Chain A
Amino acid sequence: GQQVMQIPQYQHVQEGEDFTTYCNSSTTLSNIQWYKQRPGGHPVFLIQLVKSGEVKKQKRLTFQFGEAKKNSSLHITATQTTDVGTYFCAGPGTNAGKSTFGDGTTLTVKP
């Protein structure tokens, strides 16, 4: 079945450093979503990418969707302590309603 892999599993950075997490799918995706889960919280939707090669920005966050629509990345510039949490990518499955999440990248930020 479809697999979505994320690396790295953990990332520890000093406040102000940049951070990137990568997502790779075993199959071509019609779209990809990114979610953030704060410690003790629930996943919250950040963004959806649909087009091949698409790049979207949200303040310090930059999201990219690969040309082949099989990979994606999330880059955070100049991390802040508020960026702490686990970032997940997710792709739709072959059946409507089916969804596959990556294992997530947990970011810790040292002040």
Chain B
Amino acid sequence: EAQVTQNPRYLITVTGKKLTVTCSQNMNHEYMSWYRQDPGLGLRQIYYSMNVEVTDKGDVPEGYKVSRKEKRNFPLILESPSPNQTSLYFCASSEGPAGEQQYFGPGTRLTVT
């Protein structure tokens, strides 16, 4: 079954404690993205990747890092989480550029206290 998986699905952490949210897709897609979703603000792109070792900033990259060492995986790293990063995070992948259909993971709800 074609899918995008994220882990963990829920995470409560404290300010400053480094964390990683994993994302994996089994569709051999070139493009992957991370979004955060906040009430009233829709989906905002954090980072995206066009292929292995090729990443670029989205609209809200501050406080986040990503890496793309393998085609299927695109982890999101918060080196020093802060409360304003409390949000719902989605990973997505697509066969082509962002104009193509994106497949979203189930989401990770992060709370930073």
Contacts and interface: CB of A to CB of B under 8 A. Distances in A.
A97 B97 contact: yes
B44 A43 contact: no
Given A1-B59, A95-B56, A43 B90 contact: yes
Contacts of B43: 43, 88, 90, 101, 104
Nearest to A101: B43
Given A33-B101, A44-B104, A48-B101, A99 B42 contact: no
B98 A96 contact: yes
Interface residues of A, number: 28
A30 B42 CA distance: 21
A97 B42 contact: no
A42 B104 contact: yes
B109 to A, nearest CB: 10
B49 interface: yes
Interface in B54-113: 56, 58-59, 90, 92, 97-107
Interface in A47-87: 48
A103 B48 contact: no
A24 interface: no
Interface in A23-37: 30-31, 33, 35
A97 B90 contact: no
Contacts of A103: 40-42
B40 A45 contact: no
Contacts of B107: 42
